[in-house]
Structure formats: C-alpha cells, structure tokens
Structure 1
C-alpha cells in the first residue's frame, strides 16, 4: 500500500523533471579484456532489440560514485558507478544514453514510467518504491564519524536517500537524526557544528575527509545493526531480464578491477574491503575467534602512535588501525588509556584487558605472546642543535625502555623519565645529553614543541629498529591468531596510509597539573627538605670553609710536587681517562705531541687518524679487561719512526671502577735497529752457505758422469766374454775416466774455490784428436749395449795440437754424450767435428752432437740451462738437473758458445763452437819430451817406513809399496815410528798417516826433524783422506816434504819418490765402487791381484773395528768419539766398505754422535761380516 502510494506521487513528479543531454563524456574508463559472459538466446535477443540502455543518474553529484560536471557543449560523467557501467557497456557491446535528475525520487519515477531502464548507485532506499536491485558492485558498511570538537554525540546527520529513518531511530533511540539532500551536505553539517556526528558510507566519507576535512572528523564505530544493501543498479520490478543480464556481467568482473576503480576514487585514504575480502576474513579469522569485543591498552604520550586529543579521546596510528579492525570484522574495540607500561602489564596479567601496544623485545617475547610487527621505526639521537655526538655525556631513556637491553650505556650517565615528552624536556635543559627514541615520535614532538631547540642528530645503528606490536597473555592464542590474521590480510598499503596520515597532523591535548600531581607533591616536599638542609649546610659550611681552604692549599702543593716528580722522568708518561682524554702527562710526553690540554686533536694531528684509532682500541681493551699490557710498538710521528717499549696499566678508583689507563714508553729505536742489522747479517751468512751448498751439489752431479763410464766399462769386462785386447781396451777407458774423476774431485774438495763460487780453466798443450778419441771410446761400448750406433765424423784439416783445458773439454763432451745415450733408445748418435777456419792463429772448431732420441718440447728447452732443473716427468730419467747448466757455463768459461734445439720424437741437436790457440814448435816440444824420457834415472830400491794406526791400512799399503820393488818397515803409531828410526839409520822415506791417536803425523814429523836433523836426505810424505787445500799447507809447515791423499795410486807414489816430490803432479783419485752395496768386490779383487791376503787383513779389521765400536759406545767425550769414527772410516775406505764410510761421513758432517748412529754402524758392520764371509768362501 505504501509502495503504491509513493509510486503514484512519483509518476506525477517525473513528468516535469526529466532532463537529457545527447552528448555525455565518460573519462578515465578502465579497459577490461577477455571477459566472457554466457547469455541465453532470449537474453541475446533482448539486447539486439534494445540497442541502447537508458541510464538514470541522480543530481547533485554523489561523490565519488556519480560525479557530474556540466560544460558548454557536453556533460562529463565520472566516478565509480560511471566506470562500472562503462565496463558493462563494453562487455555487452551496447550503447548508453544518460538521463540526469535533480532528485533521487525523480529518477525512481522515471524508471516506473519506463522512461529509463536503470538507476546507478542504488541501495536499500530504492526497494521502498518497488524497484529491484542487481548484485552489488561495491559493498558498504555504514560508519559513524563524530566531530573532532565534540565528545558526546546527541545529533546525527544522514543523507535522506541513504538509510531508512525508522530503522535508525530504533537502533539509536536517544539520538536525534537530521536528514540532508546529499551525503556531502550531511558530512558538512557534522564538520561545521550543525550536528555532532554523521552516518555515511565509508568511501564517500573517506573521500571528503581526505580532500577537505582532514582532522575535523574522528572515527567512532561501524554500525552493524543497519544494512544499506551496498551499491548496485536498480530496475523496474518487471524488467528481470535486464537485471539478470547485469548480474551475470557484474559477476564476471574480477575483484582486482573493482578494487582498482575504488582505489582511484578513495581520496587517498583507506580503501574499503571488497565483498570477497570481507567473506574471506569472516570465514578464516572472525568465525575462529568467536568474540564480539576486545579491550586494548594504549599509551597517552606516544604520538603519533597513540595520544589523547583535546577532548581526552584516544587518537593516533594504533587507534586508527584498531578502527580498521572494526571495519573489517565488526568486532567492537574498547580502548583503555594507561600512562605507565607497568600498569598496562598488570591489567593484562589480571585479565582486565586483552591486548597492550608495545615495542617488541626479546625479554617481552619470553613473557607474552607478541603479534606480527605493525610498524618499524629506527631509533635516533635527539640533541640540541649544533651539538656533536662525541660530546654527549648522558643518555635519556624512558622507564621500561628496551634500549637498556640492547645497548651498552656504561660509558654514559643514564637518566630515566616517565615518557618521551619528559625525555625531550630533559635534553632541552642539558646540552650534553641525548634522548634515544623512535624517529616518528621524535619528529612529531620536535615539530610540535621543540623545533627551535632540538633536532634529530642521526640514526643509532647499534639498536635494531623499534618494532610496534600487540602483546597478549601466553594462554590467549586464539586472540593472537585473530590479530595476526587481520594484520596479514589487511593490505600493507592501508596501514601505511594510516601512518602517513597521522605523522604530523595530530593535535595533542595540553597536560594539566593532574598529570603531574605526584611530581608536584614530590617537588614540594623536596623543596621543604632542601630548604632545611640548606640552612644546616650554611651553618656547617662556614665552619668547614676554613678547614677546606687549608686542605686545598695542601692538596695543591702535593699535586704540584707529584707533577714535578712526573715531569722529571725523561720518558713519556700519561694518564688517559675512560673517555679517551689525556688528564695527566709529563713534559716528555707534551714535548713529543705539543700537547696543551685534554683535547684529542693534538693526538689526531700528530699521529694521524689510523694510528690514533689503533691506540684508542688498545687502551679500550685494557680498560675492558682491567689488566696490564706490555709490548713493542711502532709509532710514526711527523713521518719519523719510533720503536717503543709501550706499557699500559688499567687504573681503578676507590670504588673499584676502571676509570682510565696509566701508560708510558721507552724509546728502543736503536735496539730495534741493531736487531735488524743482526737479522741482515744472518741472511747474508745463510746466503753464503747456500752458495757453498749449491756448488757442492753441482759437483756431486758431475761425479756421476765419469762414474757411469767406469761402471759400464768394468761391467763389460766382468760380465761379457771379450778377447784380451777388447778387455784391455775397456779397462783403459775405465782407467782414463777414473783419472778424470780424480781431477774433478780435486775441484769439489777445494773449499777455496767453493767460497769464490767459481771453477778455473787451465789451458795447456794437448792433442785435440786424442782427447776426442778417448771420449768417443768411453761411450762406444755404452751405446752398443743399447743397440744405438755411435758415429764420429772428424775433419782431418783441424790443427792437431792446440792449447785448451783437456779436463774441461772432456767434461763438456761427457755431459752431452751421457744425455744423448740416456735418452736415445734406438737409431744413432752422430758426433761431428768441423773446421771453421784459422783466425789470428786460433783454430775455430764446431762440434755437433745429434741424436734420434725422444726429444724435448720447445717450452722445456729453456729450463734445461737453469740450476737443478729438469724436463717434465714424461722426459725425466733421473739426475739432479745440473748437467747442461754446468756444460753451458764451462763452454762460456772456455770462450765458447752452446746452442740446443730439439723436437719431440725426432731428436736433439747440441752445437758448440770453440776457438783454441794453435801450439807452435810442436817438433821441438816432442823432441825435448823424448830426450827427457831418455834421461830418466834407473830404478833405485829404497827402504821405506810406513806409519799407520790401522792394521788394514798398513797391510794394503805395504803390499802396494812392495809391488814397486821397495823394502817396507811398519809402525803402528808415532812412538813406534821413532823407535824404528833409531834402529834403522838407512831408512830413505817415511810415509805417515796424518791423523793418529796420541801422536799424529804432524807431531811425528816435528819430532823426526828435531831428533834426526842430521838426516838431510830423509823424505817424509804425509798420508791423509782429507783432501782440502789447507791440509797440504799444514803438512809442509810441519816439516813434511809432500802430502799424499787416499786412495793412494801406486804410480803416483813411485813418481813422488822417484822425482823427489814433484809438486806439479796431480795426486787425486777416487775409489771405484758401486753405490749402495755393503762391500765393493772390485776393490777386493784388486787387492787380491796385488798380493794382499784378504783373510788376514779382514780378520785384523774385524778385531780392531770391534774394539773401536766398543770404545765408541762407552765414550762420552766428543773429541774421542770423532777420533774413533775417523779410524773406522779410514780402515773401511781401504777395503771399500761403502756403507760404513757413508755413516761415518754423516757423523763427521754434523759433528755429533747419537745412539741411533752407533746402532747403524753396528748393523752395517754385521752386514759386512756376513757379506765378506760369502765372498771369501
């Protein structure tokens, strides 16, 4: 009945109110792609006949849904509803005609008369007139906002077409409602004081608030009891076909598109949730919680997070967030204001509240459930303007602050206040203090109250960001799940919008005396007490003043005295406080740094920042550990280096607090300089020793080449059945190589040459072709063993007699040919000697040695001429890597050149060029040589006394001398020798071992020359195994005529005796023995051939050596031990017992005898006995 009456009135009204305009522009349309809507055949047929939809729009503008702006030639229609109807038009591919009405009722009347097809931005109001609604395209929750100037709500404004007036009065019976023609007017009525509050949809109210009335309205609550039906399109009740089509299209528009449209028109504030968001939150968050309201504690002095406005109503970011909780869930939020955090925690623990807004910390997480973080804020320093942080002495924090848990404040005075406002007030009064607080709170209060005095002086990077969150009891997990669920579902942009909106726009209520009544009471009582104490103090102070002055004078005198004592110390001394300022120092310290006061600038200027920082860290470590530190330290002051003995000692006051460091130093630069010089001398000594070792290693390598020839030639004689001539040929080759080896050993043991790090080239007249032939013959047999052809090509035009170092040339050819034979497994080795001509009486010769061996990679060739270098493992066949390096050096010493070229799997070619002087008057030289030979004296038998402490040596040497045809007498030591000389006055020659116990050879010689001075023709020859150059000099100084070296060559001995000590003869030879064998059979066979009875000699060796080993194990005197080692070595050397010799040499080289050495000697001696038993049997 009511709907029919209203419809009839509207019919009459509509006939005078219909307006249309043919040209309407819709800007800012959203483009929607790939949207498919399934329509029935009847629906498609309906649209094809319809062609154009007539859309009714209400005037004046309903912002932000319907915004109509009239121009000269057109009308601009925009807003949320405009963009939604434009999307529907695009999807249905149908044109739109717009009709604009001055009132809502006129539009309803037009649709009832079929003059239009639908009305935009409709809600439950249209249902009163019998119209039907489509599915809503944007949800709505009525919101109550109050004026910021009003505390109690008595009157409320509402747009008349928004909600049913009867329903509102039934829900709010004590409130008077006033209805306005548009929602904009209803909002303005609340802002300008016509009413106390307004009820409106959140989106239009939010748009007006953010664009025009920010700060004038405050959120109150969501009205759950009234349903506005949301925003939809309204149709005539008979036009269900069009309504159904619209429902399908609206359902096909995705939520993101609708959210984008709403976000563009929300005025920059909170965007209301969509239907899907509300449904999801209700199902997954609200229904699981099951409570209708919660109580939350907020702090009144933490703007902009939470504070009280001028009407004592809670406001701020957290309050706005809780309002957003209410909008999303409908759960009522009760706000409880508490000034003290301890009181808030008490309410929480007693169950009087559900949540407390706090700063998160580790300790609080241990006692409460903490929600997800709402906001993060860095902690900052707030100081007076133009104050540096390093001048700060005290830090102001609030009570219950988490700063003390996470930051070390031990170096500062900590002041606690009731709140952030009190903390900033304290900083204003104390310029050397700083307050630490979140940056949002700091900026807000400085902007509101302290912008003339205070400033943010930087971020505190020691502290993590302040994290604002909610705290609940540990057993209230459902509540925390509810809070976290909302925080995770509400878009983060919404929370950021709230934070930005409240940062500097809040108006905080002025504090009254009630807020500080306890402070006022405390101050009043304190003033009375202080006044009483002042009176007492004045009375007592007058009496104490005279005493104090006397004490000050005494203290001043004592301090001056102590300062004079400190200044009298010539070394720098100082005291550095815990703030790293010099409080006390002496004149020596001040003179170094030009130091005048306690400012660190002088340190920094003279030391430079890196040194200054390093010293400060060291002092800080001493203070922290409360201990002393002493170490050598290097300082650079004004680019001058000081090495100091720096000492530090922590100083504690009478309370036990470490308040600084006492330090000083001694300048030890001279001592450090001396130590550096000692180290340099040590390095030079080690370098010299290294050079000696390198030379000895080089010569060791050179020994192996002739030894290889000797062993190879003797192997052919022993193991192969050759004719007598062939055996003699091989033995001659071995003998020549042995002679060359003796000459080479002379260089090795000549320490004077080693120290000079050089070898001498000694040219002499020689037959070049004979030298070449001897080397060729050495390697011919070795090459034949490997089935390799050794081919010699000699240019006979080469001058035969040249002046060159025969030994060094042989050494060069030995090294090259040895490598050629070693690395050639098949094919041939060619040796060419080419005459390059005679220039300035010098014969120039080119020697080419070419093999068909494995060859060498080009990158490996250069390595061959470096010390101790060899090719890679694929080419390496043993050796020390010294051969070619030595060969090249010898070539250069002989003014020659050497080149090497090689190809892998083809072979290697070595080319050498020499220039040797030609020897003149060869015939005359040859003739003189023949004449000298003819003039040789006939053999004369001599009587020879042989003196040696070792029986084996005496036996072998006696046999060798007897083979020469001489008579031999023997003596076992010096005393025995003197006795023999007394009895035999016809002795011609004395051969004595230089190294003997009791009386050695040198002392024996001096005794002979003293006692038998009348025997002028008596020849004394020294015999020793030590082939150093100074030994011969020592022998001559003792009175000997010459010195012979073991092993003794028979021909050499004969030559020395026969020509009466010819000093120019070469007296070096090395024993021929196979390495790594217990006994050397070659030596033993040689001795047997010389007529030595090995059974007798070896029995004597065993008895004597057994006694020596027994004495060796019992002796504790190093000199006696070395004496015995030498005896054992000398006897073993004569018989070729190589293992024993090696052990003795090792002991002598380190000049120390250990238990393991005696064990090794005994073991080797036992092996020799076994091996000799097998040999003699």
Structure 2
C-alpha cells in the first residue's frame, strides 16, 4: 500500500520535530556556542515547512505557494549562518541579502506571474543546492580542518539531497500538478524521504560539530591556560629577580650608608668627650642630633622597603617585658630633658612579664609612637599605659595607649596618618621633620603580630591618644613573673606632679602596697623606711632640693630620688656622701621593681644606675683584634676601646686577621671584632677559616663579634651561621658594643 505525499510530509514533519527538540536541548546545553542556536532554529523551520506543505491547500491564496517554500529555504540559510559562526567568521551580510532577495523575486514570479509548480520546485532545488554548496565551501575555506567528522556527514547529507533532487527534477511532471502536496509520484515521495534523511544526517553532524567546537574551545582554553601559566611563571621569575635585585640594592645601600654614618656619629661622640668651648659643644650636639636624625630616616626607609617586599620577619625570643619598656622609655631621657614634658609609664594592668616576642620590633613600635608624642608635645606629659590579657589559646594580647598633651591632629588630616610618606601637612614636615613612615611601619608591624594601631581621639591643641595591640607568647620556661621583693613597711612619696602621683598609686595598688603622699611639711612629721623624692623639675642643686634631701635623710632609713638625666643633683656632695639611690626620669615599673629588689635596698646605685666607669672596670685589660678596612671606623672603634682601657690590634683585611693569628698565642686575644665586608678575604670566609682550619686550632673557640653595616633582615642569622658568636650593627653604639662584649666574655 503506497502512502500519499501528504502523509509522508506529515510523518517527515513529525520526525524532524523530534530532531528539532534534540537540537534545542543541545543549544540549551551549549549556549556559549552561537552556531547551535541557528542549527536548532533550522530544524524548527524545516519541521514547520514540511507541515505547511502538508496543509498547503488550507492556506490563504497569497500564502499558499509562498510561505512553505520560504520557510524550508530559511532552514538552509540558518544552516549556512550557523556554519559561518562555527568557523568563527562573520556571515557575508550583503551577499546573503542579495541571494535571498533574488530567490524571493524569482519565486514570486513563478507564483503570481508565471504560475508553475514545476518552476517553483526547480527554483527551490537550485536555491537549496546553492545554500548547501555554500555551506560546504565555508567549511572547506574556514574550518581549518577542525570539523573532519562532521564535514563528512554534511557532505553525505548534501550528496543524498542533491542526487534525489536531480532525480526528481529529471522526471518532473509538468502537467496536472500545482503543489508538492498533490504530487504523489514515487520520485516526489523519495525526495521528501531524502529531505528527512538529509536533515537527520545534518543533526548528527551538528551534534558532532558541537562536540568538536567544544573540544577546540577546551584546547584553546588549555593552550591559553598553559600560556598564562608560562607567562605567570616568567613574571614570577622576573618578580623574584627584581625582588632579589631590590634586596641586594637595599643591602648594599644599608651597608654603604651605614659605614660613613658610623664614622660621623662615632667621631662626634668622641669629640663630645674632649675639651670643647661652649659654642663648639653646641655645634657638636647639633651635628650629632642631625646625624642620628639622618640615621633614623635611613632606618625607616629600609624597614619600609623590607616590609613592602615581604622580607621582614618576626623573630620571637624570651624577654622581660618591663625591661624592654624601661629601655625604650630611658632612650628618650635626653629629649625629655630639653623640654617641659614628663614621660609617665603605667603598667599596673600588666600581669604577664616574661614573654616571647621580637624585642627589636616591639621597641620599634613603642619608639615610633613615643617619639611622635614627645616631638609634638612642648609641655605637659606623655603617658604610656600598657595592659596584658591571656587569650583562650594561651597566648597574650598586649595592648597599649600613648596619650599626650601636644598639638593634636586636625580632623581633616587624620585620614592620612597611616599613609606612607605622609604627614598632616607640609608645615609639619618643615617644622618637625621626619619621613612620614613611622606610623605606617608601626601599623605593618602590629599587623604582622596579629594586632593593629589606631588613632582613638585627637583634637587641635588638646593632645592625641593612640592605641595599639599585638599578640605574643608566654615564656613558660620562667615560672616567677616578678623578682623577689623586699618591701619596706612604710613608704613616703614626694611629687609635685599629680599625673606621676596617680600612676605611682596605681602601680602600688596593683602590687597590694600603699604609700603616703608627702609634702615638705608632712615629711617632717613621721619616720619612714623609704622616702622617694620626685626632683625631675629640679635640675640644679638649690635650696628646695637641698632642703628636701636633708629632710628625707633625717626622716627615713633609705632615700631614693628621681631626677632629670642632665640634672647636677646626683653629682652633688650631699647625694654622693649620703648613699642615696638615683633613678633617672622617666621612672618605670622596672625601676620600681629594682627599687624593691631584695639586694638593691641600701646599695648606692643598684641596677638602676650605671656609668661609663662600670664598663671600664668590666672590660679593662681585655685584648681585642679588630678586623676593619675603613679608616674612620677604625678610629671610632679604637677610641671606644681606649676609653674602656681595652688593648687592641688592627687588621685591615681578613687575610691580615689570619696572618696575625698564625703568629699569635692563644692568650693573646680575648675577642675578635670582625667586619663582614673586607677586601681580599671577607669576614665570613675569615671566620670559617678560624673555625675549621687546623692551623688555627688554638683559636677555634675564640669569641667573634660581627661589627658590620649589614643590618638587613637575616644578616644577623648569616653571621651566626658563619660561626660568629655575636652581632653589632653600624653605626656603632658604644653601649650595645660593650654589652655584647660583656655578654660574650661572660
């Protein structure tokens, strides 16, 4: 039984509908591939065209022979558009528009002027073959071999459709038929079946081509990823090279700048110890202050560079918190003596003293905050409040406040405080100097130690308050938090400064102690085990200070005074002969512990007072070998050693060091001060020779202290790894050098 053409059209339309649904889902799954959209629409148009041909006789007269043909031809054009997009090419809009218009004109002529089914069929076949041949040409020219399998399927589809179309055209019925629906010939029905089969092959080809496009995209992405990784690797290597170059540059700059600065500061310190006129002494003091200011600028810039490049590390070590705070506060003694400002240190909320932290960086935080507060405060006081709190993980959060009565910060300038190289305004830089890096470095350091710093409050001419915090570890190797104390039963305090009195009261109450606040009159009415006299505001021995000291001596078993570092009171005969203990402003909680230390009561100076004489007595008689190639640095170092009555021999190179040791006896030298960068043989190589060469077996264990301008992060570790025992960076600080020598020889 033969099916009618109308039935075949309906069945083909329904079959194409199924493939159209599949292509629509393929499109939804690959929305980023634009070609699939056109192919899905092509199947929908072909389905619609076949169904329109099936119901051709029910259409209006004007659309009866036009709409079905146009819809079927549109499916071929959509295939062409999709192919162009699959090949990553823009369709030729002009050529395609002319082609479509030409078909439209020819079809309308064959419909309304020379009405003929045969002409319309022939025109449709020719137009369809041109469209599909165009598809094959596009694949051949632009696919670049990317669609091998799908191109074969498309070619087979076009070939089947071409053969069946020519077969039908060769035997077309020119009489009695005016539409495809009415053409029940076997060849017409074979043509419809060929059209359906061709569409199925197209759909398979489109599915495969989508996979090929996806695969090509993945390969492209993979190549881009590989290229990006290669580029990132190259950029990483370049960045590392730049970072290494930057680090080398900073290290060289640090060394080359510190070396002459060491000569400048060292010579000025030596000059200050000679007989100078008042004007010469003033000029020397100004030059020394300027050199130290320059050194501070250099240190700030180098530290900021290390932080920016990620080279700065936090090196924790066991320290006594109160001793660190005391050393920082005491470093401002001279600056405080030159203005009417009192530095008050309050630690009564601190209950953890033995900690593991980076003392260098903690000092840097405190130094920057305090130096700003003191610099911008002309009168009144600067107060440091420190507190500690143990966290759940066993670590300790240290929190601090720096409160001053200085010039304050304008509200409009506060947002610039923590910006690098920024100060409140240009006049601040001109008047007070500085790099504008201090607070930036403080913030970065606090962040590195899991804390932060912020401006709590500030107002013009009323002062400022900064708060900072860091997280440190407990030093569990030490069980006792404070030293053994010998507390006097009765204590009296004389102080004309209410802020200092309040802090002392807080400190005493935190330790469960009490004292009486004394006036010159009440001091005479009782007898005390200890009287503490605050004489910071008295710089010269006079009636007031003499009266207070005499009265205290008569009404107390022990007397301690607190005075300005430049005060002449400690040198007075009354103080020297009375065994009065002297503490210098600023007076800290560490001083308070020393005041009550069991072995300190009754001693003349205790551990709170030291002088150059102590160093001379300790180091006198030592013999030192100095390895230094810079003549100025040789003078600075040797003059310091001469002041301490230390004997020395100078070597200009590392080779000279080895030559001297090869002829020396084991007892001839106690210490070697070793510069790291020297000609012929540097300090690292020289140290290695001393430690490893059997020729120097007798000096194998001699203490070697690095005396170097290499002050970057890791330089100390490098020196120690080379076999050195200690490290002092240039510019040489006499106190640090003597302390390091004493530490090594002890």
Q: TM-score, normalised by structure 1?
A: 0.29
Point out the structure with max Rg over C-alpha.
1
Bigger helix share: 2
What's the TM-score, normalizing by structure 2? 0.42
Q: Which has the higher contact order (CA 8 A, sep 6+)?
A: 2
